[in-house]
Amino acid sequence: MTRKQKKVLLRIIVAAILVTAFHFVELTGLPSLLLYLIPYLIIGYDILRKAILGIVHGEVFDENFLMAVATIGAIGLGEYSEGVAVMLFYQIGELFQSYAVGKSRQNIAALMDIRPDYASIEKDGETIQVDPGEVEPGTIILIRPGEKIPLDGVIVEGSSTINTSALTGESIPKDAQSGDEVISGCVNMTGLLKVRTTKGFGESTVSKILDLVENSSMKKSRSENFISKFARIYTPAVCYSAVALAILPPLVRMCMQMPPDWGTWVFRALTFLVISCPCALVISIPLSFFGGIGAASKCGVLVKGSNYLEALSEAGYVVFDKTGTLTEGVFRVKNVFVRENIAKQLQADGQDAQTYILEAAALAESYSSHPISKSLREACKKDLERERVTDIEEISGHGVTAKIDGKEAAVGNARLMNKLQIDFVQCHEPGTIVYVALEGEYIGYILIADVLKDNAAAAIAALKKTGIRKTVMLTGDSRAVAESVGASLGLDEIHSELLPADKVMRVESLLEEKTPKEKLIFVGDGINDAPVLTRADIGVAMGALGSDAAIEAADVVLMDDDPMKIALAIQVSRECLRIVYQNIVFALAVKVLCLILGALGIANMWIAIFADVGVMVLAVLNATRTLYTGKYIQKTE
Amino acid sequence: MEKIYQIEVDCANCAAKMEEAAKKTEGVAEATVSFMTQKMKVVFAEGADEKAVMKKVLKACRKVEPDCDIVL
């Protein structure tokens, strides 16, 4: 508890003891009033002060005013203990609210506890700790096991495993060694690292993410705007109704020659005022969204605003970019085909046919930096003896010719085979085909393709399960590749051979096609799809850890490469919205019911206090549940 | 011009009132208050003197919520 809260608690305790004690003192009239004024002023002086200041400033209808009028009114009517009790319970409610809200804020802050406190640098042979903000880019910093990485940089010495879970929600640690980039906000787990910083603290990943999360509550959702508008009309409306309730019925009674009974009606009006405070709504809704955003970021999904969290729950269309989003975005050898007679011949020589062809191709391409050559070398696995290769000639757009162990080798596409007039069988599988010929004779081909992410299919299925109406893939890749990917993932619609501008047009036509209530999500890797990310209702950038451009352009950022997180984000947002609606309906229903009962004289001051404080407490507790939704959903799956 | 200020405010409704008050202040183009993070984002009108404007904003906020504070 803060000092302010402790002070209020003390006042509550003292006032409560006094009121209870006075209950047993038999006094009436002025002495009794004076006695009860002591606890009343102890518990309520600040409310009275604010109420008076409010009137001076022309801000009449606020809750301080309501409480002051209600309690003074009760005391005026001779209900001393009730007047004090109302103020007492109001303060208890306020204290609880500020405590609960403070706790939730701390919880969320703890979820995002990635802010490093210091950076260790070496100076004159000694290690000193400095504020990360003071470290210039290019400085060597020391990171011991168990410490947070304070700034982005490159490892110059040491190796370790790094826990990225605070940023990505990924629980499996990553290995890192000399030369690898490290990202601030992660935790160094096992070894001492020396890191040369590449960015200042302000530009480091950790600052960017903290900024983003903290500012997310500035972008308000429709529900929040609705409630603040509602409160602006609601509070004065209730106040005028209370005035009417106090004056009209007695006047009517007077006209009907009955006793006006002012006391009863004024008291009912006061009850009315106590019930009316809109706090339960005004506090619980932003709290729910804040909790939801916190829960999502714990799972590695950064949502940039409450409005986007709200929009996610209404998603109807999910549009994907292919490369890097559904696929790994790297080329891998998928298949090696060897001509039958060649394979037999090689087997007779005691060689594995596939390895032989792969090695030949990798050797021929061993000096090329093309991604295809890289994937060939990777697939080959063993160290290449480059001295076996001579007379390498790269023919741009075709492939490579070289001599391996003195034998003429040709490695490349169909055009190369045609050019060298080698007789070969054209292959039509989706992907890039590398044909291999030795001594002018075609011996086989290697199929290289971008591989699907492990859980891409599961991610699409999960989206379908959450009720997404249409999944679409847009790609610049060839039709054959796109269709094979689409079929294996179960996507509804595929558009291939698109230029970046075509992707924007496609998204625009999809935006027109959907019903206005449905939202369209575009998921990309954020590298070259910024225009599409901004055009979609919700732009989701994937694998954005360390990529500033993606964090800038997108509305929702997935910190790791896992497409499953999209469905998770939608579920978290739905759960959060469910809690928001629960609170709106619950609070309004209880209030309206109590208002009616209060007007009819059935609800007394105690029920009124429940309607104000009790409802608020319950709504805050319910809102706090959003904090745990993300992990809960992940666990149950 | 856009700036974020640390604020101190006790209740959510009061924060909403501060936002309203700040929005109406001369020289402020747009203002948002987040009760959760205790922060106020102010977008200044073109050519406005931010220090003078923020003084007015604080005064306006104090009027609607005597206990609030803005760290300037």
Length of chain B: 72
Please report the DSSP string for A57-116 in residue order.
TT--SSHHHHHHHHHHHHHHTT-HHHHHHHHHHHHHHHHHHHHHHHHHHHHHHHHT----
Q: What is the tens place of the pLDDT at every residue in A281-294?
A: 777 888 888 888 88
| CA angle, A325 then A291 then B23, to 5° | 100
| CA angle, A549 then A540 then A293, to 5° | 105
Q: Which of A215, A180, A195 is nearest to A116 (CA)?
A: A195
Identify the pLDDT of residue A308: 92
Burial profile A208-220: b = 16 or more Cβ within 10 angstroms, e = fewer? bbbebbbbbbbbb
Please report the DSSP string for A494-523 in residue order.
EE-S--HHHHHHHHHHHHHHS-TTSEEEEE
Is the CB of B23 inside 8 Å of chain A's CB atoms? no
Mutate to test the interface with A, among B36, B37, B43 (most CBs of A within 10 A): B36
Cβ distance of A218 and B12 shorter than 8 Å: no
Q: What is the tens place of the pLDDT at every residue in A200-250?
A: 888 888 887 777 777 777 778 888 888 878 877 887 788 788 889 888 888
Q: Which of A316, A370, A293, A329 is nearest to A109 (CA)?
A: A293
Distance CA A147, CA A142 (A): 10
Is the CB of B36 inside 8 Å of chain A's CB atoms? yes
Cβ distance of A217 and B37 shorter than 8 Å: yes
Q: Is A117 a catalytic residue?
A: no
Chain B residue nearest residue A57, CA to CA:
B63
For residues A241 and A330, the answer to whether their CB atoms sit within 8 Å is no
Which of A124, A131, A211, A321 is an active site residue? Answer: A321
Residues of A in contact with B67 (CB under 8 A): 50
Q: What is the tens place of the pLDDT at every residue in B32-65?
A: 888 777 888 899 988 888 889 999 999 998 888 8
How many CA within 13 A on the CB side of residue A398?
13
Identify the pLDDT of residue A416: 85
Indicate if the pLDDT at residue A578 is higher than 90. yes
The pTM score is: 0.77
For residues A333 and A355, the answer to whether their CB atoms sit within 8 Å is no
Most confident of A191-195, A363-367, A410-414, A552-556: A191-195
Cβ distance of B39 and A105 shorter than 8 Å: no
Cβ distance of A228 and B16 shorter than 8 Å: yes
Alpha-helical runs (H) found in A514-563? 530-535, 548-553
Please report the DSSP string for A224-272 in residue order.
HHHHHHHHHHHHHHHHHHHHHHHHHHHHHHHHTTS---HHHHHHHHHHH
Count of CB atoms within 10 A of residue A226's CB?
Answer: 14
3-class state of residue A27 by DSSP: coil
Cα A187 from chain centre: 20
| CA angle, A80 then A82 then A85, to 5° | 110
Residue range B4-22: mean pLDDT, rounded = 83
**Per the structure block, which two tokens stand in for A561?**
């490469």
Count of CB atoms within 10 A of residue B42's CB?
Answer: 25
Q: What is the tens place of the pLDDT at every residue in A118-163?
A: 888 888 888 888 888 888 888 899 998 888 898 999 999 888 998 8
Cβ distance of A50 and B10 shorter than 8 Å: no
Count of CB atoms within 10 A of residue A525's CB?
Answer: 20
A47, A49, A54, A57 alpha-carbon torsion, rounded to 10°:
-170
CA dist A580 → A95, A226, A280, A519, B14 (Å): 22, 12, 11, 19, 20
Distance CA A312, CA A289 (A): 12
The interface predicted TM-score (ipTM) is: 0.74
Q: Which residues pair with A163 in a beta bridge?
A: A187
Indicate if the pLDDT at residue A519 is higher than 90. yes
Residues of B in contact with A97 (CB under 8 A): 11
